[in-house]
Amino acid sequence: MKLKNILAMQFLFMLITGLAYLLDSVFGTTTGIVSMALIAGGQWNENLTVFRKNLEMKVGKEVWWRGKLGRFTAFIDYQLYKETGSLGTRKGSPKLTQSIIHMVNDFKSTKRGVKIDIPLKRPLTGSGRIGVAGLSGHGESQKIFYRKCAINMMRHAFNERDNEMSDQVLPDQIMKELKDGAGELKDWFSRLIPFEFLFAALTGYSRNLHDTSYGVGYSMRSHPNIYVQSDGQVLFKSSAGTHVAYTFDSGYEKNVATALGTLTDTPSDYFSSQSIRNMVALARGHKIQPIEYQGQEVFLIFITSAQIRQLRQDEDWLKAQHYAAMRGKDNQIFTGLMEGYIYEGALLIVDDTIPGTRISTSSDFDSTYALSTTGDVYGVQYYPSNFMEIPYDTSPLKPAILLGQGAILGAEGAGFKFTQEISDHGQQIEDGGRMIYGATRADIIDDDNFLGNGANTFYDNSSSLVYYTYSPTTITI
């Protein structure tokens, strides 16, 4: 081989290596993926397309599993259900008995659309036949409700560069950090999804299903199993006070607000060991099924650090922990660990993204984010407008949320997708991310009047409850 040909090949190899190193410095250092992609003629080539797809898959997995609810999320194999009638989970996700969120993410076997039916089977409740009494003609019909879980798109954009002059003004290291659009969007969706599950528990649906302009237009509605410390259960009643069974209406929302208004800054309204005992007893009364966790059947109770702070000052709690905890420097009372406690049949999980609740008498009440209560004095607001900016909600009306098996139903129409838009001849670069998903509280509703109580009538919720205490985040010294 001639010397000039050898030198030409060496130069080509050095050029390829240099370009690959450059791309890796842009993409690989922030994502942990080494890319050997090339740019030819200013266009993305096939190799870089594969890299982008790998990045989307990595980010999508991170979104679903990063939050505290992720470990209790089971992905339902809907194809298997359609073929065999057996509702099971997909490989790699927890069993249904170990999960509180049942997520369907396989639409191949269903008719595409906005809503997907998720079956909820009710147990047999008949009294049976005694002795030689005839059994023929007395068979009980199986009650199966199909809960509709809607999906909708959520998108967010990130300005990687608003003007090419910023490359000149800002130091190079800062510019590299500002260009991590995929990482920033991954982080945003990872923090948003746990909020959406909590919003579904408190208001019936994830936030992307409430919007009347671009969403599905579902109305928010308070949880049917709401309890308020020192005041009891909020019953379904009309504004006139007569009992109207199983109806979500403005009268019920007014009663929720009225009950929340009874909470004051007094020890009897604080979160305590009695609160936990009450929640577990109420859960059993509602026939909420516990999950299997480390070989035990427990209910999951999500609380805020303000509530655990009150609990750690409760004498009954301290006595129980004093006798049960190991001695030494690993003692949880000594170390101050705030979650992972199993107490009175409940596993306590501390999550400060749980939004506080406001009523119309609150100074920072925003009617834009309140439930519709036409004709009533009070409104109920479950999340502020800036929950992503200030996730630590300062409202003292804190919900402790008990979640059992299948408390939240979810569906995913399309996973995370990362895109990039370059405009004005490279002056501006904007990264975008989108997901199509939905989350619905597992209320059982008789959509077709099967039970004879009227169509669209609420039947029950046997998978979750909400328990309110007065637990301010501010500390008086």
Mean pLDDT of all residues in 439-460: 72
User: Residue 420: beta bridge partners?
Assistant: 431
Q: Mean pLDDT throughout 53-76?
A: 64
CA dihedral 446, 451, 455, 458 (to 10 degrees): -40
pLDDT in tens, 467-477: 999 999 877 66
Q: Which of 434, 437, 433 is nearest to 412 (CA)?
A: 437
Q: Which two tokens stand for residue 393?
A: 């909600």
Which pLDDT band holds residue 22 (cuts at 50, 70, 90)? very low
Q: What is the mean pLDDT of residues 338-352?
A: 82
- Residue 217's beta-bridge partner residues? none
Q: Is the pLDDT of residue 238 over 50?
A: no
- Residue 244, both tokens: 């109207």
Which pLDDT value is given to residue 175? 56
Where is pLDDT greater, at 145 or 157? 157
More confident residue, 326 or 220: 220
Domain boundary assignment for the chain: 224-405+452-470
In Å, how far from its chain's centre is CA 32? 27
Q: Which pLDDT score is estimated for 319?
A: 80
Least confident of 215-229, 325-339, 388-402, 461-475: 325-339
Residue 201 one-letter amino acid: A
Identify the pLDDT of residue 382.
Answer: 92
User: By percentage, how much of the chain surpasses pLDDT 70?
Assistant: 64
Could you tell me the two tokens for 354? 């749980």
pLDDT of residue 184: 80
The 10 Å CB-count burial string (b at 16+, else e) for 59-98 is bbebbbebbebbebbbbbbbebbeeeeebebbeebbebee
Burial class (CB in 10 A: 0-12, 13-18, 19+), 288: buried
Per the model's pLDDT, the better-predicted residue between 358 and 42 turns out to be 358
Average of pLDDT values for 245-265?
A: 85
Q: State the DSSP string of 425-445.
A: TTTEEEEEEEEEEEEEE--EE
- Position 133 pLDDT exceeds 90: yes
CB-neighbour burial class of residue 319 (10 A; exposed 0-12, middle 13-18, buried 19+): exposed
**DSSP-assigned beta bridge partners for residue 444:** 460
Higher pLDDT, 41 or 170: 170
* Contact by Cβ (8 Å): 299, 342: no
pLDDT number for residue 17: 44
pLDDT value at 35 more than 60? no
Buried b (16+ CB within 10 A) or exposed e, 145-176: bebebbbbebeeebebbeeeeeeeeeeeeeee
Q: How confident is the model at residue 21 (pLDDT cuts 50, 70, 90)?
A: very low
- Cβ 439 vs Cβ 410: under 8 Å: yes
| Mean pLDDT, rounded, for 203-225 | 87
Helix (H, G, I), strand (E, B) or coil at 283: helix
Interval 412-420 mean pLDDT = 76
Average model confidence (pLDDT) for the chain?
Answer: 75
Q: Looking at the predicted structure, is the pLDDT value of residue 97 above 70? A: yes
215 contacts 200 by C-beta, under 8 angstroms: no
- Name the range with the highest mean pLDDT among 127-136, 378-387, 463-472: 463-472
In angstroms, the CA 435 to CA 193 distance is 10
Q: For 38-52, 73-87, 127-141, which range has the lowest pLDDT when averaged over its residues? A: 38-52
What would the pLDDT profile of 164-183 be if each residue is shown by its tens digit?
A: 666 655 555 555 555 666 77
Higher pLDDT, 336 or 254: 254
When mean pLDDT is compared across 81-85, 151-155, 391-395, the lowest value belongs to 81-85
What's the confidence (pLDDT) of residue 136?
92
Q: Is pLDDT above 80 for 230?
A: yes
Does the pLDDT value for residue 48 go beyond 80?
A: no
Q: Stretch 237-259: mean pLDDT, rounded?
A: 69
pLDDT over 60 (residue 386):
yes
- Tell me what percent of the residues of the chain surpass a pLDDT of 90: 21
Within 8 A by CB and 6+ apart from 335, the residues are 329
Which two three-digit tokens encode residue 326?
């190991």
Dist CA 244 CA 241 (whole Å): 9
| Helix ranges restricted to H, 286-339 | 305-311, 315-324, 332-335
Residue 151, pLDDT above cutoff 80: yes
In angstroms, rounded to a whole number, what is the distance separating the alpha carbons of residues 291 and 268?
Answer: 30
Pairing verdict, β 101-104 and 73-76: parallel
Q: Which amino acid is at 264?
A: T
- Residue 335 pLDDT grade (very low, low, confident, very high; cuts 50, 70, 90): low
pLDDT recorded at residue 447: 65
* Residue 458 vs residue 347, higher pLDDT: 347
